Structure 1
Amino acid sequence: MDPQHGGSANSSTSSSSESVRPLPSIDISPPPRLRPHQQASADSPSLNSLKSVDSVPVTGIYPLGSLRINEPTDNEDVDMDLATPLTVPDTTPERTMDKNLELLKGGDVLLLDDLPSSFTVGCDTISFSTTQQFLGFRDIPPGAHLIWVAPSESTSSRSGYWITTPTKEETSPGKVYVKQWDKFNEVLSDPASQAEERFQRERLGEIFANLAPYQFKASTSAVSPPSRSGNAEPLPPFVNNTTIWHQLTSSIQSHLLNRVLGGNEETWPVNTTDRIVGETTMPEEARLYPSAAAQFQFSFPMDQRLFDTTAEGSERTQQALDPTTWTLARTDDGKTLLGEIQFAFLTGMHLGNYSCLQQWWYYLVHIVFRSYRLAIERPELALDLVQTFHAQLVYNDRYLEGDIMESMPGEARRLQKALTVYKSRLNEQLLSLGDRCTAEQNAVGQAFSALESWLWRFGWDLRGEYVRSGKVMLEDGEMVEAELSDFESEDERGEFAAVVVDVDENGRPTDLVSV
């Protein structure tokens, strides 16, 4: 019988050994091994399909392709049965590190990983829109710097980081900071893992030429927009285009950022939705920004009285009218107050953080320009405060879109009143000193005069020539008696003013009516 039709191959020998039947042969050889260079059969998945996204199940919190395989650093024997052996680059970690150190001699580097194209990027005094993936900045000089990003220029939410670069010797290399765009939360954050951060640092030599220098001026940059002031007079030296950022950040140090933002880090995240600790959030805002967390902790809370609660009598009244003593008691050398004013202004203006802007107004209206004796007792600190406020106004006018005075008119009106009183008190104190007025104290008066000249462009007259009571003509021509309450604290009719009464020989008030 044909073996192909079920017949036995040993039927011809069955007569000689009918009692013994051969056992069926069993093939126990291993299946053929599919090597990388062999052709796969039609029934098995092809090599191309194994690389397909659709055929590879992925689990985890990181997107496919974001994880990378690092080569082993030791001399282990790796058993890989490949047709073509791997080629190892002729480099060592030590040589890569030495090359990176050479690149960092120009300053610090900040790398932005996974930042999409068409983003708005800002670094200190510059901001620009990207047309392709932006990799970061290089040659960052010593000082405090604010780097932020936003999906577009019209986006209301921005995310950034403060970094502080210490002054180094000429031979000392800079540092490399790595930040990654979190697509899920839409914020700038630290890298997802230490391996990812190390990978970005090691590829510095490959991308260094594509990093933007710190002095980068893009064609689409918002640097030096047309000034609203028109033909303005020349600026003082401390607010020119070269030194203005240093004037704005001179007291922002790492220890101040650690205290205001918490923690002990090398970089400090800030966002548009950050709030001050203890600040009440509206329910609508809580639903809109569920992840917003209160983190700012300023040294001078807005809900705190500006005097010592244990003080009594005239001392309590004096502290309430002039919080100089209270202010100096809460700051070591004055740098705390100055640094927080600088931080609140820049974070509020660049990121649109409303809490920081409110804190900035509070500092100016209730502390800086109400501490009248500061110009006499601590003229160096008073000079720094006046010049910093002047620099902030110039920066707003020349580098930022929008006017902080127009955006918050109620606060601007209160500030104008505070400055009017401050000018009057400052002139009185300096004139009373006469020949005893020091150069530092006189410098405060000159700095305030320069500030007063700048404020004329807002139509602010700080000469203090105002009438507290008198006749006022209404729109229809009628004359009425009126009394202005704008400066009622100046004639000691405030909340903490002492009440003067006449008493008789027994110490009893004589103006009381008795029956």
Structure 2
Amino acid sequence: MASPLQPSPTILLPGLPPKTLVGIDLITFTSTANFHGIRDLPEGWHFLYTGTTESLSLRCGAWFYVGDIGKAGIGGNDNALVTRNQRPGPEIYIWKWNSDTESLASLKADSDLDSQAAMRYKANLGAVWQNGGLFRYRSRVSPAMLSNQSGSTQNEAPRMEEDTEPEESGRRDWQQLTDRISPSLLSRVIGNAELDVDGHPRWMVTSAGTANRDADHIPGLDQPAEGQDGKAETSGEQEREFGFLPVDLKRTWREGAIGRERTEAAQDRSWALGELILVYSSSVTGEITVDERTGESQLLGELQFTFLMVLTMMNFSCLQQWKRLLELILTCRRAIVDREEFMSEVVRLLLRQLKRCDDVEGGLFEIDGDEGGAFLRNLLTKLRRSVDEVVENGAGSTVKAELDKLEAWVKEEYDWELKRESIVRRGMLQLEDGEEVEMEMDDNDEDEETGEYAPLVVDLDEGNTMPEEEVEDEGTPDIDDMRY
């Protein structure tokens, strides 16, 4: 344990009202009158957020990094974001409660009052520690600890012995859920970081944050009101729009593609995935080639970010982007072989995320009306079939190995069957009165190529009575939408 002269990484929260919902990483609790902050923060990413109530209030939070931020993620340009103004010494973060915005605000370096306040809080840190005002960081909280949220150290040693294994597991879970998040990713999605009085960066997020594509635009209400001078009036800080990766699932083929090429690109979205990775990849210094690993890290990091914002903030827009990314990636076929390492890491990450789904209030699948996770179950079923068809030597495929683990877990946890041949899709059902009726699954059309998925045959010669000259003027008939 660090001495008062050399305190461990600590975040102080002066002025935080009692009975405020506080969350850090994978735990939440309600603050008490004697709660003044959290000590012994481990190295790595952390997300701290608050809400005035547990469910119906706006949640405000921020990402910050303890330790060398240059180690965060694997982006090639992340080292440039290491703060130059950061002073040597123990890492003490001070976020003061702002009663006007009902959120935590960091002390600013350009304010003399904030600088003086920071010195005062740091000088008083030892007394706050001794009085039990600091909550020791935990990745998981037991009921006994929840009853002692003020940070008192009484009987702490026995609890540490009892919770050693779950604590290590919780920290490992959080590290695996954030290991692809980088400063460049957060700056792209959220916006530039703000620096506190000691030069520590933090990236602010609220539960109301949204991307433009997910926002409900109501005519007449989207535009701010005009003042007397004719300029638009704004109240408070404008909500920053999320800068998500542009995933367009309605157009997954190259420009100019026609016929079979478009059909195949619509069924196998590997080309669209590759283009997205290429756009967000960095160039290799001194060479014409690009390092696609940086683009892959951006996708993996955004998968992690969006899921955790659903987990902690219940952000609707992040849920939609998480689903769009999964639908793009899990419907790829060629990428199973061409991008084997990337695809296997996506499947491995998805399993880690599913294991935390119960942390979402109301359940991850229910908050978007996806009863029973039908959306994800269908995607995993398609991926299972693609892997079985594409991978020739299944024993040597890491994608297949990771998918086997995921399949076993969802089978045990949700009773999902991912192999289509094991699912009865059409058959006779006997009713209570003994009558038998034939039943068929609603989502069977695509696989059976029936209904709206039935092949369309067009006879280009029958009924064509136009003169030959007019046919030539009309050009070649458009067959872009033909299915093969």
Please report the TM-score for the alignment, with normalisation by the length of structure 2: 0.68
Any residues of structure 2 matched to 1:197-346 within 5 Å, and which?
197-202=114-119, 203-208=121-126, 209=129, 210-215=133-138, 217=141, 219-220=145-146, 240-265=169-194, 266-281=201-216, 293-301=239-247, 305-331=251-277, 332=281, 333=293, 334-346=296-308
Q: Counterpart of 2:6 in 1: which secondary structure?
A: helix
Q: Counterpart of 2:383 in 1: which secondary structure?
A: helix
1:128 and 1:221 in contact (8 A); partners too: no
Cα pair distance change 1:335/1:496, threshold 3 Å: farther
Q: Distance in 2 between matches of 1:103 and 1:384?
A: 39
Q: Distance in 2 between matches of 1:413 and 1:380?
A: 27
Q: Distance in 1 between matches of 2:450 and 2:353?
A: 33
Superposed CA offset, 1:285-339 (max 9, x none)? 989x986625211013467633333323322222211112211221232111111
Cα pair distance change 1:286/1:120, threshold 3 Å: farther
For structure 2, the 5+ residue unaligned runs are 71-87, 150-165, 195-200, 224-233, 282-292, 466-484
Cα pair distance change 1:240/1:476, threshold 3 Å: farther
Check if 1:135 corresponds to 2:36: yes
Cα pair distance change 1:196/1:445, threshold 3 Å: farther
The CA deviation at 1:392 is: 1.1
Cα pair distance change 1:475/1:358, threshold 3 Å: farther
Q: Which amino acid aligns with 1:276?
A: A
For structure 1, the 5+ residue unaligned runs are 1-98, 224-236
The CA deviation at 1:167 is: 3.7
The CA deviation at 1:351 is: 1.1
> What is aligned with 2:6?
103
Superposed CA offset, 1:156-191 (max 9, x none)? 32111011335489xx74533332222112222333
Check if 1:191 corresponds to 2:104: no
Any residues of structure 2 matched to 1:43-82 within 5 Å, and which?
none
Cα pair distance change 1:188/1:497, threshold 3 Å: farther
Residue 178 of structure 1, aligned match among 85, 88, 94: 94
Residue 356 of structure 1, aligned match among 318, 321, 329: 318
Q: Counterpart of 2:180 in 1: which secondary structure?
A: coil
Superposed CA offset, 1:73-121 (max 9, x none)? xxxxxxxxxxxxxxxxxxxxxxxxxx99x635x44x3222321122121
Superposed CA offset, 1:461-509 (max 9, x none)? 11213456666666766556666451433456798997567x8xxxx66
> What is aligned with 1:125?
26
Q: Which amino acid aligns with 2:254?
A: D
The CA deviation at 1:248 is: 0.8
> What is aligned with 2:474?
none
Any residues of structure 2 matched to 1:482-493 within 5 Å, and which?
484-491=441-448
Q: Which amino acid aligns with 2:366?
A: E
> What is aligned with 1:459?
415
Q: Which amino acid aligns with 2:116?
A: F
Q: Which amino acid aligns with 1:159?
A: C
Check if 1:153 corresponds to 2:54: yes
Superposed CA offset, 1:195-249 (max 9, x none)? 34323432324225243332375721799xxxxxxxxxxxxx9x94341111111
Q: Counterpart of 2:114 in 1: which secondary structure?
A: helix
Query: Once the two structures are aligned, what percentage of the paired residues are identical?
Result: 29
> What is aligned with 2:400?
445
The CA deviation at 1:283 is: 5.5
Q: Which amino acid aligns with 2:275?
A: A
> What is aligned with 1:39?
none
> What is aligned with 2:470?
none
Structure 1 vs Structure 2 CA RMSD:
3.8
Q: Distance in 2 between matches of 1:494 and 1:444?
A: 33
1:127 and 1:221 in contact (8 A); partners too: no
Q: Counterpart of 1:335 in 2: which secondary structure?
A: helix
Cα pair distance change 1:259/1:148, threshold 3 Å: same
> What is aligned with 2:370?
410
Q: Which amino acid aligns with 2:270?
A: T
Q: Distance in 2 between matches of 1:304 and 1:402?
A: 30
Cα pair distance change 1:132/1:306, threshold 3 Å: farther
How many residues align? The count is 383
Q: Which amino acid aligns with 1:309?
A: E
Residue 15 of structure 2, aligned match among 106, 111, 114: 114
Cα pair distance change 1:258/1:174, threshold 3 Å: farther
Cα pair distance change 1:462/1:274, threshold 3 Å: same
Cα pair distance change 1:138/1:306, threshold 3 Å: farther
1:123 and 1:145 in contact (8 A); partners too: yes
> What is aligned with 1:386?
347
Q: Which amino acid aligns with 1:424?
A: R
1:178 and 1:200 in contact (8 A); partners too: no
Q: Which amino acid aligns with 1:368?
A: I
The CA deviation at 1:278 is: 3.9
Cα pair distance change 1:481/1:125, threshold 3 Å: closer
Q: Which amino acid aligns with 1:178?
A: I
1:248 and 1:388 in contact (8 A); partners too: yes
2:207 and 2:315 in contact (8 A); partners too: yes
Superposed CA offset, 1:263-297 (max 9, x none)? 2442111111111134333669989x986625211
Q: Which amino acid aligns with 1:451?
A: L
Higher relative contact order (CA 8 A, sep 6+): 2
The CA deviation at 1:124 is: 0.7
Cα pair distance change 1:213/1:483, threshold 3 Å: closer
